[in-house]
Structure 1
């Protein structure tokens, strides 16, 4: 091969290599561009637990999925449940971000622990909708019920259940998990009503949203106060109320017990006379609002038409918020609340053991 031919071969090889490198560079740029764009068709949904309440799997998840599908038919909801573990929820959150999800609906198991990860998400352009309880960190929007009002309704319903005996009644309070900011609001609202209307709160402890813990705590109260040492029990939710009622029955104690969440088993206990009341927080409007907020954020739209008020967290001010109104459910208004709203059918509530009680309550 002469010198001229060698130079031609080298030149051809150089051009070929340059074109190959350019092609590789372009492919890499496309991947980086795609990674940066993220997943614009998926919304993350992280719910906190499934042990103390059946509502998350039965109502919140399917309602949110249905609303997202209605507003964005080609969108997908990527769902995980923390099963009562803050560390597991953090892993689920990180996985969603790694997958490029740009909007996450987060019902934090431990709202106080979320500040750093919500901030990290925000720094990466990921919007977080705080659902049901207010997470710390720069969340883009918040939807829940007026949780101070929930506590007030719980307290008032317990006073009404005691009737004329309220002024002389000692009350046991089994509160929610102290890591949950909603639990503090429920407790504060309940005290606002109970303090001054009952004789005294004689025992108070956290049931940690765990029925087994609540059962243990009411057992301690019975041991320390005696069977006649209290006349009513405030339970922050229905799951704990179920365990409390079981423990009271086994000890031969019959006093009013209230709860929250309007689970179907709680409605059955109310009809049967075992539970005095629950608090009905209509899941569908809550879930629908979360779905609307998430889709708006995913599509770059303003959320203030949905979240028209604001709220402050421990870390951030002026968070766009939508707060819904809770309702008390007792035996007198089961028909006009959870049945009228289509949450449950009479046939769902009035199964075997509850048929006679339903008939006596006039449910039809």
Structure 2
């Protein structure tokens, strides 16, 4: 191997892999998640801090548009895994969006291993604790957001307060179509994957890839993804051929698709 593209679940444990590879002259590209304690040769990703701020800002704007009184309650914040540096960046971005929004954070949780059942269990406890004071949930990805939605449904809360997400999974897009999830982030893997491949080729050719910034002492290229809600789901997902209507508009989601102008 002359180059390794590494997407580490445990950013701290990955440091030893980076050092081992680099000691043998192998170039390491950190993909999707940074490796804070051992600089890779390059880092390429969607802008995780920007994602956190975007989903939080989107939720705040939605609450303000609905004229939801900040004094009537606050929001829950469900972060990703405490071992994942990308989750830390998303968390930082969420705080940037919420901290001066006027909507207080009722409670916050770092979800071990990003596990949806753990997010669901925690959210269930907060629903018991805060009840109707929960005005919305900023969840760091679609799995944790889906866990929160499941907790509201199990508790008989109807309608479910607006819940964010990130990754544009099929399940989350269907929840948005149904009106159960408010937003997600569309991150077509081809964008970052193509960039990682181009960077690998340049490194192997002895060139210096152009960096937009330095993050954790690593030259970095970060892309800004799109926030997806019901309003732009057709334009961002269907029209860009990321998913088809046939994939999304099945069973109980068919009616919601019709309302959004999405047809098979």
Q: TM-score scaled to structure 1, two decimals?
A: 0.67
* Other-structure match for 2:76: 172
* Other-structure match for 1:258: 164
* Other-structure match for 2:14: 114
Matched, 1:151 2:52: yes
Report 1 or 2 for greater relative contact order, CA contacts < 8 Å, sequence distance ≥ 6. Answer: 2
Contact 2:234 2:260 in 1 (8 A): no
**C-alpha displacement of 1:113:** 2.0
Q: 1:200 aligns with which of 93, 104, 129?
A: 104
SS of the residue 2:106 aligns to: strand
SS of the residue 1:260 aligns to: coil
Q: 2: CA distance between counterparts of 1:166 and 1:309?
A: 40
Change (3 A) 1:166 1:292: farther
Q: 1:191 aligns with which of 71, 95, 100?
A: 95
Q: 1:280 aligns with which of 186, 197, 201?
A: 186
Count, aligned residues: 256
Contact 1:128 1:140 in 2 (8 A): yes
Q: 2: CA distance between counterparts of 1:207 and 1:126?
A: 33
* Greater per-residue helix proportion: 1
**C-alpha displacement of 1:166:** 5.4
**C-alpha displacement of 1:311:** 1.6
**C-alpha displacement of 1:198:** 3.5
After superposition, give the CA deviation of every residue in 1:66-121 in whole Å (9 maximum; x if it has no partner): xxxxxxxxxxxxxxxxxxxxxxxxxxxxxxxxxxx221110011112222221121
**C-alpha displacement of 1:303:** 4.1
* Other-structure match for 2:147: 243
Structure 2: give runs of 5+ residues left out of the alignment.
none
Q: 2: CA distance between counterparts of 1:290 and 1:309?
A: 14
Q: TM-score scaled to structure 2, two decimals?
A: 0.92
Following superposition of structure 1 onto structure 2, how do residues 61-80 of structure 1 map, counting pairs within 5 Å?
Answer: none
Matched, 1:360 2:263: no
Contact 1:166 1:197 in 2 (8 A): no
Q: CA RMSD in A?
A: 1.5
Q: 2: CA distance between counterparts of 1:141 and 1:197?
A: 34
Contact 1:143 1:290 in 2 (8 A): yes
Q: 2: CA distance between counterparts of 1:278 and 1:138?
A: 30
Q: 2: CA distance between counterparts of 1:249 and 1:303?
A: 52
Following superposition of structure 1 onto structure 2, how do residues 28-67 of structure 1 map, counting pairs within 5 Å?
Answer: none
Structure 1: give runs of 5+ residues left out of the alignment.
1-100
SS of the residue 1:322 aligns to: strand
**C-alpha displacement of 1:330:** 0.1
> Structure 1 stretch 159-168 or stretch 351-360: which is displaced more?
159-168
Q: 2: CA distance between counterparts of 1:303 and 1:331?
A: 41
After superposition, give the CA deviation of every residue in 1:228-247 in whole Å (9 maximum; x if it has no partner): 13111111100111121111
Matched, 1:332 2:231: yes
**C-alpha displacement of 1:199:** 3.1
Matched, 1:129 2:29: yes
Larger radius of gyration: 1
Matched, 1:267 2:167: no
**C-alpha displacement of 1:256:** 0.7
Q: 1:294 aligns with which of 191, 200, 212?
A: 200
Contact 2:211 2:221 in 1 (8 A): yes
SS of the residue 2:82 aligns to: coil
